[in-house]
C-alpha cells in the first residue's frame, strides 16, 4: 500500500521512535521503518509486489484484527507453507483457525518458529537420518512440531 494513502489524513499519534498512526472508522494506519512487536501488539506486513527499496512502510490493520496478547496465555499457533518454505504465527482468534495446530505461548511460538525455519532452510540436520526424501522427512518432522507438544529432540528420535 503506498504511503501516499495517508496524505490528507489527520495524524493521531507520533511515537518517540518515529512511527506515525492514523485512525479511521475501519482501522489503523501505521507509517514506520520498524515492525514486529509493538507494546502489546505484533505487526506482520505482507510483502509488497513489487518490492520497494524504502525501509519506511505503511501498514493497515482493521479494528477487528486486533487480538489479545500477553506472555502467559497459549494464544498462538503456526502455519507452514512448504512450497515457499515459510512459517508464520497466527492468533487463536483468527477465523481460519481449525483448532488442529497446538496453541502455545509467545515464547514457545518463537522457539518453534526458529526450529521450523531451520528445518525448512538447512539440510545439515538431515545427515543423521537414513532418508532418501529430505522434503518428505522435513514435512513429517515439521508437522509433528505443529500438531503435537513433543520436543524437537523427541520427534527426531522417533524418525531414527
pLDDT at 43 over 70: yes
The residue ranges of every structural domain in the chain are 3-65, 76-159
- pLDDT at position 48 is 62
Would you call 48 helix, strand, or coil by DSSP?
Answer: coil
d(CA 73, CA 64): 20
With a CB cutoff of 8 Å and minimum separation 6, the contacts of 126 are 134, 137, 138
User: Bigger pLDDT: 3 or 148?
Assistant: 148
d(CA 77, CA 92): 7
- pLDDT at position 120 is 97
- Cα–Cα nearest to 87, from 61, 113, 55: 113
Of the pLDDT bands very low, low, confident and very high (cuts 50, 70, 90), residue 41 is low
Whole-prediction pTM: 0.78
| C-alpha cell, 45 | 506486513
Is the four-CA dihedral 7, 13, 18, 22 of positive or negative sign?
Answer: negative
- Cα–Cα nearest to 45, from 107, 109, 55: 55
d(CA 143, CA 28): 35
pLDDT at 91 over 70: yes
pLDDT at 139 over 90: yes
127 forms beta bridges with: none
Q: pLDDT tens across 15-37, in order?
A: 998 999 999 999 999 999 888 76
The lowest-confidence range among 46-55, 92-101, 114-123 is 46-55
Amino acid at each position: 500500500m503506498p504511503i501516499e494513502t495517508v496524505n490528507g489524513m489527520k495524524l493521531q499519534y507520533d511515537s518517540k521512535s518515529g512511527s506515525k498512526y492514523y485512525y479511521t472508522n475501519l482501522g489503523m494506519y501505521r507509517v514506520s521503518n520498524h515492525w514486529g512487536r509493538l507494546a502489546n501488539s505484533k505487526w506482520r506486513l505482507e510483502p509488497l509486489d513489487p518490492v520497494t527499496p524504502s525501509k519506511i512502510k505503511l501498514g493497515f490493520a482493521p479494528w477487528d484484527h486486533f487480538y489479545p496478547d500477553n506472555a502467559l496465555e497459549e494464544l498462538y499457533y503456526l502455519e507452514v507453507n512448504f512450497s515457499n518454505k515459510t512459517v508464520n504465527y497466527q492468533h487463536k482468534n483468527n477465523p481460519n483457525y481449525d483448532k488442529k495446530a497446538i496453541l502455545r505461548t509467545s515464547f514457545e511460538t518463537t522457539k518453534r518458529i526458529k526450529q521450523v525455519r531451520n528445518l525448512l532452510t538447512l539440510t545439515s540436520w538431515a545427515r543423521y537420518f537414513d532418508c532418501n526424501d529430505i522434503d518428505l522427512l522435513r514435512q513429517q518432522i515439521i508437522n509433528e512440531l505443529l500438531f503435537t507438544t513433543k520436543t524437537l529432540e523427541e520427534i527426531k528420535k522417533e524418525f531414527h
